[in-house]
Amino acid sequence: MFTSNFDIELAEERIERERQAAIARAGAALEIKGFACCCRCGGEIDPRRRAALPSARTCIVCAGGRKS
């Protein structure tokens, strides 16, 4: 079976559109979640920690501290 350059270009364009859509969905999910979940254990990041350190991506336990 012969595949033309045109067919290959169409497939590559489709793959790129799907990749961009997946990136957009992931970005939207992060905005909705707002790093409310620890990126290591998946547990909730205490709202007090998020207020003190908005960029925190881990819970206090995974960050190496103790839970109070």
Give the model's pLDDT for residue 1: 65
4 and 22 co-located in one domain: yes
Give the model's pLDDT for residue 18: 95
41 and 14 co-located in one domain: no
Give the residue, 14 or 53, on which the prediction is more confident.
Answer: 14
Instruction: Provide the domain count of the chain.
Output: 2
pLDDT tops 90 at residue 17: yes
39 and 66 co-located in one domain: yes
Residue-range definition of the domain harbouring residue 15: 1-33
pLDDT tops 80 at residue 35: no
- Measuring CA to CA, how many Å separate 16 from each of 5, 23, 28? 16, 11, 18
Say if residues 40 and 53 touch (Cβ distance below 8 Å).
Answer: no
Q: How far apart are alpha carbons 37 and 18 in whole angstroms? A: 26
Q: What is the pLDDT of the chain when averaged over all its residues?
A: 83
29 and 48 co-located in one domain: no
62 and 48 co-located in one domain: yes
For residue 57, what are the contacts with CB-CB under 8 A and spacing of at least 6?
A: 35, 38, 39, 45
2 and 29 co-located in one domain: yes
26 and 9 co-located in one domain: yes
